[in-house]
């Protein structure tokens, strides 16, 4: 069965050799006990990995050898069947050569999966992985996602190795909550290339709002706005006494002060930009306009401009948050850009003060 499936898969191999036979096959039966068993290497079958020749690489990390090599035969066949297969086939195999417990290898693979999702601008997952020790093989199958969300690729394929070398040590110092927060932001960003423009705007601004919530402390609104908020609440309470209206769950009261609360969110977004040092003029980022357009979609389901005009607001919004993510991860290499409709590359530090 594995051989038949392999004939329909395009693989990118992160390995020292290819495993052709599996002597042990299990479906999600790996207990904590067996995850502590020692292995000498492991393979993780990635979906949606880059299919460019220069995305292959090899480097050492924490005493472990990590390699990626393109399987050109499968790539050719994959391209032939791509119109039919779409996102069906696995597009990469990640192999980690180590003498460590299974859970250590699995955790590292999950870290790499999220980081390459940031680099490639699309949801990279593995629904199947294999543990090996000498001649003993164990295959685990578990579906992570039914679709491969996509956004713009921010890091050139030939820089992915350098990106991982820089970002992995930083990433592994993060808490589990910090990692989860970045995953959430990334997954929203990686849903901004396709679909209706209104949906893409919703996801993008949600990513920015998550980032401002995770990384910026709550900002106090001005004294003038505090007075206004208090006045609105008092007026509403007095009106309720004189009317027969029942404010179920306090929803009306919340909506009356929502605009002021939204101003607080706007201030946090401004603070996020300020603290990151991002040069918004360099990428034509107008975050407040982008947020206002999103708010219009929330309330009306529509935008008040052409799709082309909306794209000119959306694309810098995606790129700006991607750049901030890369800086947080310690990356300082090249990023993809475009000038006069030509694809170019620039150093990341050119986008920050």
DSSP states of 253-303: HHHHTHHHHHHHHHHHHHHHHHHHTB-HHHHT--HHHHHHHHHHHHHHSS-
Higher-confidence residue: 224 or 269? Answer: 269
CA distance 140 to 128: 6
pLDDT band of 13, cuts 50, 70, 90: very low
Instruction: Give buried/exposed letters for 83-115 (b at 16+ CB in 10 A, else e).
Output: eeeebebbbbbbbbbbebbbebbbebbbbbbbb
Average pLDDT over every residue of 130-156: 85
Look at residue 256 in the predicted model and tell me its pLDDT: 78
Q: Quick one: how far is CA 292 from the chain centroid?
A: 24
Length of the chain: 353
pLDDT band of 244, cuts 50, 70, 90: confident
Report the candidate in 77, 78, 57 with the shortest Cα–Cα distance to residue 66.
Answer: 57
Residue 4 in this model has a pLDDT that exceeds 50: no
**Which among 63-67, 221-225, 259-263, 279-283 has the top mean pLDDT?**
279-283
Residue 197 in this model has a pLDDT that exceeds 90: yes
Look at residue 243 in the predicted model and tell me its pLDDT: 82
β partners of residue 58? 67
Report the candidate in 204, 207, 181 with the shortest Cα–Cα distance to residue 193.
Answer: 204
Look at residue 81 in the predicted model and tell me its pLDDT: 74
Look at residue 233 in the predicted model and tell me its pLDDT: 83
CA distance 227 to 229: 5
pLDDT tens for residues 144-160?
Answer: 776 667 889 999 999 99
pLDDT-wise least confident of 49-63, 132-146, 225-239, 250-264: 250-264
Q: With H, G, I as helix, E, B as strand and everything else as coil, classify residue 22.
A: coil
Higher-confidence residue: 240 or 138? Answer: 138
pLDDT tens for residues 305-323?
Answer: 999 999 999 999 999 999 9
pLDDT band of 182, cuts 50, 70, 90: very high
Cα-based distances in Å from 119 to 42, 79, 106, 244, 329: 23, 22, 20, 57, 11
Higher-confidence residue: 339 or 15? Answer: 339
Average pLDDT over every residue of 183-201: 93
Residue 282 in this model has a pLDDT that exceeds 50: yes
Q: What is the mean pLDDT of the chain?
A: 83
Q: With H, G, I as helix, E, B as strand and everything else as coil, classify residue 95.
A: strand
DSSP states of 312-348: HHHHHHHHHHHHHHHHHTT--SEEEEEETTEEEEEEG
Question: Cβ contacts of residue 291 below 8 Å, gap of 6+?
Answer: 205, 208, 265, 266, 269
First to last CA, the chain: 55
């Amino acid at each position: 069965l594995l051989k038949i499936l392999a004939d329909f898969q395009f693989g990118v191999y992160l390995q020292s050799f290819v495993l052709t036979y599996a002597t042990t096959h299990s479906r999600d039966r790996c207990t904590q006990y067996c995850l502590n068993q020692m292995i000498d290497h492991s393979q993780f079958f990635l979906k949606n990995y880059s299919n460019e020749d220069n995305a292959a690489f090899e480097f050492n990390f924490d005493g472990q050898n990590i390699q990626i090599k393109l399987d050109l035969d499968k790539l050719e066949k994959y391209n032939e069947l791509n119109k039919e297969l779409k996102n069906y086939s696995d597009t990469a195999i990640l192999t980690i050569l180590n003498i460590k417990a299974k859970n250590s290898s699995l955790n590292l693979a999950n870290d790499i999966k999220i980081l390459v999702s940031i680099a490639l601008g699309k949801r990279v997952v593995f629904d199947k992985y294999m543990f090996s020790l000498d001649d003993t093989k164990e295959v685990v199958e578990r579906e992570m996602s039914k679709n491969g969300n996509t956004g713009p690729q921010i890091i050139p394929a030939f820089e992915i190795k350098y990106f991982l070398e820089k970002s992995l040590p930083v990433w592994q110092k993060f808490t589990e909550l910090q990692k989860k927060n970045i995953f959430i932001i990334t997954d929203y960003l990686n849903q901004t290339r396709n679909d209706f423009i209104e949906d893409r705007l919703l996801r993008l601004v949600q990513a920015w709002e998550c980032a401002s919530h995770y990384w910026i402390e709550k900002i106090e609104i001005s004294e003038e706005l505090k007075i206004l908020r208090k006045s609105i609440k008092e007026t509403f309470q007095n009106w309720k006494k004189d009317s027969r209206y029942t404010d179920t769950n306090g929803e009306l009261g919340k909506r009356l002060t929502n605009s002021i609360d939204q101003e607080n969110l706007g201030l946090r977004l401004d603070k996020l930009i300020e603290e990151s040092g991002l040069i918004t003029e360099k990428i034509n980022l107008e975050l407040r306009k982008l947020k206002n357009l999103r708010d219009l979609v929330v309330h009306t389901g529509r935008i008040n401009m052409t799709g082309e005009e909306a794209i000119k607001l959306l694309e810098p919004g995606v790129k700006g948050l991607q750049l901030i993510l890369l800086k947080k991860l310690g990356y300082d290499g090249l990023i993809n850009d475009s000038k006069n409709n030509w694809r170019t590359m620039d150093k990341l530090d050119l986008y920050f003060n």
